[in-house]
């Protein structure tokens, strides 16, 4: 099961298809899941409440089991990352040290796949 982030008005549409891996970091605040069920969530330039809504996963995402994920990384792209605009991306840091991009989109329209 994947928990979807709540949407609010903002700019829509995915960014360009070519992506580079995010640095492993952490580069932003890391929030431990209070329920200890899923991986920790790192917020890079995204408001905490929006970051936690977008980064909360349970079970699997994109075919990757939550058991294989060390940390979820939610990053701002196309500042400002506010309800009025901007874009976000969601990557996962796997336990083997690699990162995989899982989702991206306009800040207000962002949804996990």
**pLDDT tens string for the chain (113 positions)?**
333 333 322 323 333 345 677 888 788 889 887 767 789 999 998 888 888 888 888 888 888 888 999 999 998 887 777 777 788 889 999 999 999 988 887 776 665 54
Residue with tokens 């874009």: 87
Q: Where are the beta strands (DSSP E) in 1-113?
A: 30-31, 40-44, 60-61, 64-65, 69-82, 85-94, 99-106
Measured CA to CA, the distance from residue 103 to residue 2 in angstroms comes to 12
Sheet arrangement for strand 69-82: 30-31, 40-44, 69-82, 85-94, 99-106
What pLDDT does residue 73 have? Answer: 93
Q: Residue 6: how many CB atoms within 10 A of its CB?
A: 11
Measured CA to CA, the distance from residue 94 to residue 67 in angstroms comes to 9
- pTM for the predicted model, two decimal places: 0.74
With H, G, I as helix, E, B as strand and everything else as coil, classify residue 53. helix
What pLDDT does residue 64 have? Answer: 87
What pLDDT does residue 12 have? Answer: 32
- Tokens encoding 85: 């605009």
């Amino acid at each position: 099961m994947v928990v979807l982030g709540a949407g609010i008005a903002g700019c829509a549409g995915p960014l360009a298809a070519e992506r580079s891996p995010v640095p492993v970091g952490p580069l932003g605040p890391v929030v431990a899941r209070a329920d200890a069920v899923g991986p920790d969530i790192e917020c890079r330039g995204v408001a905490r409440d929006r970051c936690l809504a977008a980064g909360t996963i349970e079970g699997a995402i994109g075919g990757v089991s939550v058991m294989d994920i060390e940390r979820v990384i939610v990053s701002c792209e196309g500042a400002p990352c506010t309800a009025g605009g901007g874009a976000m991306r969601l990557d996962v840091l796997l336990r083997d040290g690699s990162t995989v991009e899982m989702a991206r989109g306009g800040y207000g329209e962002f949804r996990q796949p």
